Amino acid sequence: MTDRIEDSPLYRIANPRSIAIFGASNKFTAMGTGILSSIKQMGYDGPIYPVHPREETVQGHKAYSSVLDLPETPDLAIIVLPTPVVPEVMEACGQKGIGHAIVVSGGFREVGPEGAALEKQLNEAAARHNMRFLGPNCIGAVNTHFKFNATFLPCDHPPGFIGMASQSGSFITQMFDYLGRYNLGFSTGFSVGNEASVDIVDCLEYLAKCPDTRVIALYIESIRRGREFIDAARKIVPHKPVVAYYVGGTEAGGRAGLSHTGALAGADRVYDGVFRQSGVIRAHSIEEMFDICWCLGTTALPRGNRVVIQTHSGGPGAVAADACARNGLELPSIEDQTREKLAEYIPSTGSMNNPVDLTFTKRNLDYFVDIPNVLLQDNNVDALMVYMMMPRRMVLMVAETTGVSMEEAKTLAAQFISDQSRQLADSMRNAKKPWIGYSYYSAESDFIQKLYEAGAPVLPGPNRAARALGAMHEYGQLREKLSK
Amino acid sequence: MTDRIEDSPLYRIANPRSIAIFGASNKFTAMGTGILSSIKQMGYDGPIYPVHPREETVQGHKAYSSVLDLPETPDLAIIVLPTPVVPEVMEACGQKGIGHAIVVSGGFREVGPEGAALEKQLNEAAARHNMRFLGPNCIGAVNTHFKFNATFLPCDHPPGFIGMASQSGSFITQMFDYLGRYNLGFSTGFSVGNEASVDIVDCLEYLAKCPDTRVIALYIESIRRGREFIDAARKIVPHKPVVAYYVGGTEAGGRAGLSHTGALAGADRVYDGVFRQSGVIRAHSIEEMFDICWCLGTTALPRGNRVVIQTHSGGPGAVAADACARNGLELPSIEDQTREKLAEYIPSTGSMNNPVDLTFTKRNLDYFVDIPNVLLQDNNVDALMVYMMMPRRMVLMVAETTGVSMEEAKTLAAQFISDQSRQLADSMRNAKKPWIGYSYYSAESDFIQKLYEAGAPVLPGPNRAARALGAMHEYGQLREKLSK
């Protein structure tokens, strides 16, 4: 592991000052054209040199018939060409003195012996010129903080804090909208493809040093350099959490991975062992992986596993309690002094057990600020889970009681929801103990949408919230163990 | 179990021809006012008689100071009053000859001995007049096909096919928006509360006979009449699937249920046994329960557990394969004749293994219609899972290649997405084998939103899709066993 991020083989892949692109044209169905569109759309502001055998210009950029004709040596070559020509193009790039490449083209090792032979040629060309490259058979890379999206799909989410390396390009590009839904996003995302030159361990080391990355996510079908993976992760985990989703644990999953990237998977328990030794948190789905990243990146780490649940609805409270128990979390009784403080907020139909169930009958305003703060001060409590919903009608009704017209009530309600969600998100972010929300509502609710926008972790449902909190507790323990 | 739905104690609770409401006023913060608003908003067209001690009119309806003064005997009384007066109001309703009630008020058995005494009085009043009622401590009932929503929250989803009985009112009302997101909805939903008069077994029997209900969902914290539950379910399951989410299986979940509705929960394995004997499918979260209902209500039942996965992205294919394996599903090899038929559609980078991975390189149109149909004809295949996404940019690009302007391309793309999704949803619905979609995209994608609108089951993510398909297979087996 090098010390400076600039020394990583991935640095100029993720932060190129200038690029050459092969395979982009004015033909809109071409993959390379799509990648160039993405690069331009995100606002990349370095020089772009399309290399094209016939076109004068490509998407408004002067095109060159050979890479050797470029007026400067770009930092990065992006290659999206038919497989057989890729090795010779790599050779030409090397001759030009280009140090790094992203090879998007597929048809190499993953398709059999013939492809493997081409991949060998590709490696040899790169080796002759000390080039390092991402891929082949990958979907590119994105660095939202550098305004660089070299993938086929547009990335509309804001610059984020999740650094990801993925053995499937889909789990970079096809997650843009998924993450954007919750106002999350990648800091940097690498699709590693066949890992012929840089692999997931290189990505891990790069992301560890990336200042925009608060948490590292990995999609893994197979780890090729097991020992190096474990060593790298053990050094990183005390400073930055790593969450991995491994898919090859079943026979069917393993077979699918094999025909996807030629990866040889190992049994679940082998990978469980690898992750345990590495200090890596194992997620069991893509969604779970991002849920855990979301919480780790936005709220404090729990010191223990004792959770208090706050709800105004019995069912969602009971479900959360059950989910906590299934995720290694305990539900302590709250302290007597907490009960005393809560007494003024909780009506007779409410419960001061854990879940603390306020029912529906008292002031709405206390629910999101005062009561959570009382609960967080409890010494028996390591973390807070709050059920969140605020039906528009309820807010409208309260607004109307002030004697205003329905039109004014609507304005007041919108203002109220906006103010409350901003305040609430601030409180959640600044709390010294983790405080996460859960809800069955999502973007269709103004309130929840505003909370997402303000950066609050409001997880979709109690099971996902409890699992994420359980994983945070797990990370706390792993970090402590590895820091010794 | 009675034979006619009209004989169910719940019939006039879910289909009242006229109603009296206690506790609705012109004060907007009152729960009863909210319920009356909901009733009106959904378009209930029977007579509504508010009973109020002082008001002349309530929300535009003539109010009566006593139920005894009503000009007719309504089918149903809805009672949302302070706990202590509820028994005497029930008595008055009985004197008026009202046969059914919904008691929303809480503060009965669930709060301790004093409340239990009031609940006993309530029961005695009802018994004196042969009245049956839902609750107390419930949040009402909704029958979308009868335009009757007697709950506190507005229900905007279209009339649906999921009949639900819930020991938490939240899992009726707070699911309206959740289900609506996927264009799903309740046929009828009952919040059973303390089950003093009608219980979850009565609901089960009602929903079994409800012609609008294709699948029954249950949220359970405790079953009070275990024997009756099993007997009823065993008769129903051969004709209509029942899916239950039970939450009391952990100590924490059980304790939460106790303070919620006073329910005494049993261990997980006890309920596993009850569900197995009953032929009820056990879900492990609210979301999973509705996922299973979604698939059961919209696509054919599988004859076996052999699934073929179709994808154009390796990662989402591998994840689906892994998820299938974890849910009791097998991934067979496809037949030689299927391979021959597929050959014309699949490029060299694609795979004819299972997952069938088409990669990105050939015509988009084949993906959603021709290829699924080829796969469904395979004799090794009992069910089809298709990864679904259609990025707008991709469609725009294809449209542009026809030489039209960007403006025209947008119109063409929207039309294309709309046509494709409608055709696709029809094919999915009419297939003789189950065919479900999965995607990480949701309403933010035009294509997925249109698929929801057209009634296609496109589940959020491969894990949820595989679990739902596994549960469908489980139901097929349970049905066969119980039909013997």
Contacts of B178 in chain A (CB under 8 A): 440-441
Which letter does DSSP use for residue A84 in this model?
Answer: G
Domain span at B199: 10-296
By C-alpha distance, the chain B residue nearest A391 is B153
Chain B residue whose CA is closest to A394 = B29
Domain boundary among B252, B274, B296: B296
CB distance A274 to A218 below 8 Å: no
**Cβ <8 Å between B260 and A322:** no
Inter-chain CB proximity A353 and B253 less than 8 Å? no
Q: Residue ranges of the alpha helices (H) in B299-405?
A: 314-325, 336-342, 364-368, 370-376, 392-401
Average pLDDT on A451-473 reads: 97
Nearest-CA distance B97 → chain A (Å)? 31
Please check whether residues B80 and B219 belong to one and the same domain: yes
Give a yes or no: residue A419 inside a domain.
yes
**CA A428/CA A299 separation, integer angstroms:** 7
The distance of B401 to chain A (nearest Cα, Å) reads 6
* Chain centroid, CA A317 distance in Å: 28
Residue B332: how many CB atoms within 10 A of its CB?
Answer: 16
Indicate whether A267 and A309 sit together in one domain. no
Q: Which of A296, A327, A357 is the last residue of a domain?
A: A296
pLDDT of residue B359: 72
Note whether A423 and A447 are same-domain residues: yes
Q: How far is the alpha carbon of A427 from chain B, nearest alpha carbon, in Å?
A: 25
Examine the pLDDT at A257 and tell me if it is beyond 70: no
**Nearest-CA neighbor of B219 among B264, B161, B282, B158?**
B282
Whether A331 and B252 have beta carbons less than 8 Å apart is answered as yes
Q: Do B315 and A178 touch (CB under 8 A)?
A: no
Distance CA A229, CA A123 (A): 22
With CA atoms as reference, the chain B residue closest to A174 would be: B440
A321 vs B contacts (CB less than 8 Å)? 250, 252-253, 255-256
Look up the CATH number of the domain holding residue B132. Answer: 3.40.50.261
Any idea what DSSP says for residue A442?
-
A359:B167 CB<8 A? no
Instruction: Indicate if the alpha-carbon torsion angle B72, B74, B80, B81 is positive or negative.
Output: positive
Confidence label for A383 from pLDDT (cuts 50, 70 and 90):
very high
Give the tokens for residue A32: 């390379």
Of B381, B392, B386, the closest CA to residue B371 belongs to B386
A221 and B442 in contact by Cβ < 8 A? Answer: no
Are residues B315 and A170, on separate chains, in Cβ contact within 8 Å? Answer: yes
Residue A167, classed as helix, strand or coil, is: coil
Q: Residue A249 corresponds to which amino acid?
A: G
* Structural domain contains residue A1: no
Return the residue in B41, B166, B170 with the most chain A beta carbons within 10 A, the one to mutate for interface testing.
Answer: B170
Average pLDDT over residues A192-207: 97
In a shared domain, residues A33 and A142? yes
From chain B, pick out residues whose CB is under 8 angstroms from the CB of A218: none
The model's pLDDT over A422-454, given as tens digits with 9 standing for 90+, comes to 989 999 999 999 999 999 999 989 999 999 999
Residue B66, min C-alpha distance to chain A (Å): 26
The answer on A307 and A286 residing in a single domain is no
Q: What is the pLDDT of residue B293?
A: 98
* C-alpha to C-alpha distances, B351 to A187, A364, B309, nearest whole angstrom: 32, 56, 11
pLDDT number for residue A65: 97
Domain contains A4: no
Type of residue found at A248: G
Residues sharing a CB contact under 8 Å with residue B323, sequence separation 6 or more, in sequence order: A285, B462, B463, B465, B466, B467
* C-alpha Rg value of chain A to the nearest Å: 25
Q: Per the domain annotation, does B249 fall within a domain?
A: yes
A291 and A304 share one domain:
no
Among the partner residues B180, B181, B287, nearest to A461 by beta-carbon distance = B287
Range of weakest confidence among A30-44, A203-217, A228-242: A30-44
> Does A127 have pLDDT greater than 90?
yes
Residue numbers in B near A323 (CB within 8 A):
285
**Assigned domain for B84 exists:** yes
Asked if residue A5 belongs to a domain, the reply is no
Q: Is residue A195 domain-shared with residue A270, that is, in the same domain?
A: yes
* A305 and A415 together in one domain: yes
Q: How many other C-beta atoms can be found within 10 angstroms of the C-beta atom of residue A180?
A: 17
Into how many domains does chain A fold? 2
> How many alpha carbons lie under 13 Å from residue A479 in its C-beta half-sphere?
19
**Average confidence (pLDDT) per 10 residues, chain B, 484 residues:** 86 98 88 92 96 95 97 98 97 98 94 94 98 97 98 94 97 96 98 97 98 98 92 97 88 67 70 93 97 97 97 92 95 96 82 84 71 95 94 72 78 87 91 96 92 96 98 96 89
Last residue of a domain, one of B296, B318, B343: B296
User: What percentage of chain A reaches a pLDDT higher than 70?
Assistant: 94
Is the domain of B352 the same as that of B445? yes
Same domain as B189, residue B124: yes
Query: Contact A440/B353, CB-based, under 8 Å?
Result: no
- To the nearest whole percent, how much of chain A has pLDDT over 90? 77
pLDDT of res. A361: 47
Q: How far apart are CA B354 and CA B137, in angstroms?
A: 51
Closest partner CB to A154 (pick from B286, B309, B393): B393
pLDDT at B391: 77
Residue B309 and residue B290 share a domain? no
According to DSSP H, which parts of B210-331 are helical? 226-236, 251-261, 268-278, 286-298, 314-325
C-alpha pair distances (Å), A393 with each of A364, B37, B40, B471: 13, 10, 14, 36
Q: Using an 8 Å Cβ cutoff, are B244 and B275 in contact?
A: yes
Q: Is the dihedral of CA A144, A145, A146, A147 positive or negative?
A: positive
Which residues of chain A neighbour B349 with C-beta distances below 8 Å? 106-107, 111
For the stretch A292-342, pLDDT in tens is: 999 999 999 999 999 999 998 889 999 999 999 999 999 999 999 999 999
pLDDT at A223 exceeding the cut of 70: yes
> Is A252 within 8 Å of B324 when comparing Cβ atoms?
yes
Please tell me the predicted confidence (pLDDT) of residue B361.
47
- Structural domain includes residue B207: yes
Whether residues A249 and A309 fall in one domain: no
pLDDT at A390: 82
pLDDT of A265: 63
Residues of A in contact with B138 (CB under 8 A): none
Question: What residues of B are in contact with residue A250 (Cβ under 8 Å)?
Answer: 321-322, 325-326
Residue A2 lies inside a defined structural domain of this protein? no
B255 and A321 within 8 Å at the Cβ level: the answer is yes
